[in-house]
Structure 1
């Protein structure tokens, strides 16, 4: 049991620093809206990860094969992300009131975190491949698999809390002009991530083997 937790902890820590749209939106939300807003957004992200894990566990092999044969799913997710990035980039709403969050806003941020993570089909592919690779090393024991991935998620969430706290310290240095720059920078990051996803959808199938790609990373 302890060995499984020890093996999961480094993975959860590394996942928290995977550069992607969620990473940057979390930092921006925490810096501009505060700790509670950042946590609310992150809870939504974690819920999406848990949903993906449940889907991956019960349909890992078949769904992994379907993803490999239907890269158009990446195009669909990428297009949604592209639109979202463009909206953030061109939006000029920088009212000071946006720095404060209400209870309703917290729920909205949670939904935002969930959707932003959920539309990225690459996240599902990652969890699928990870289960396929890690499962045999855990003897495909449901209890060990549950413990391992629960530990990954917990460490992931705790590490994100430290990121939120550090980002919150930047709030005192945020002027209206800097907030505009941050949002435009975030929009560019999301657009780039969207283009990467869309590009994956047009790659030849022989170059789009998710399982082999994850196995090469784990070696």
Structure 2
């Protein structure tokens, strides 16, 4: 069960930084429209992730597990994460600092926006397929897998909530240069995880 907690926290942490445009849309929305709008967008992302995880778990029941799956998941997953990390290193950030935080926002509208942005991003489904493969290789029972995904979602929602809260509270102190640096840090972390995943796969199968 301890391994399920660690895997879940790791997956939730990476997922909270991995969703590409959604990650910075959440920060931008919190700065421009306030905490409620940013957190509503975060909840929409979580709902999308839960749906994708359900599809991945349901679809995996129709696959006959083979040890070679772990090899392909490790290699393809590592390359995929490496590409995402490179994207983060070179992507640009722009923010509107006009004070719109007092304007009434449609929480359902931002929830729907977060849901659609996440579920229509192919990298999100790819990420959860990779995570599901890793979890299936490490955990045996369905209860452990479900608990692991629950921890992942709780971790992701907590981090996204903190991002939205502090982005709205510190809106004038958060500069584009700081977000560019955060972009690069996230890219380096994701690339490091990609190399770790490919390294572990190489030593396991070769």
Task: Tell me the TM-score normalized by structure 2.
Answer: 0.63
Using the TM superposition, give the Cα deviation of residue 12 of structure 1 relative to its aligned residue in structure 2, in angstroms: 1.5
**What's the counterpart of residue 27 of structure 2?**
27
Over aligned residue pairs, what C-alpha RMSD do you find? 3.3
1:218 offset after TM fit, Å?
A: 6.6
Q: Report the equivalent of 1:17.
A: 17
Secondary structure (helix, strand or coil) at the match of 1:171 reads coil
Hey, what does 1:122 align to over in structure 2? 123
2:21 & 2:61 partners in 1: Cα distance? 27
Alpha carbons 1:129, 1:214 under 8 Å: kept: no
Q: Match for 2:104 among 99, 102, 111?
A: 102
Corresponding position of 1:137: 138
1:61 deviation in Å?
7.6
The aligned counterpart of 1:52 is 52
* Structure-2 change in CA distance of 1:145 and 1:217 (3 Å): farther
1:216 aligns with 2:192: no
Q: Deviations over 1:181-204 (max 9, x none)?
A: 9xxx9xxx9xxxxxxxxxxxxxxx
Q: State how far apart, in whole Å, the 2-side matches of 1:107 and 1:218 are.
A: 42
Deviations 1:21-45 (A, max 9, x none): 0001000001111111111010000
Q: Where in structure 2 are there 5+ consecutive unaligned residues?
A: 64-93, 184-194, 202-206
Show structure 1 runs of 5+ residues with no match.
64-88, 190-212
Cα distance between partner residues in 2 of 1:214 and 1:52: 25
Q: Name the CA distance, whole Å, in 2 between partners of 1:110 and 1:151.
A: 21
Contact 1:31-1:167 within 8 A present in 2 as well: yes
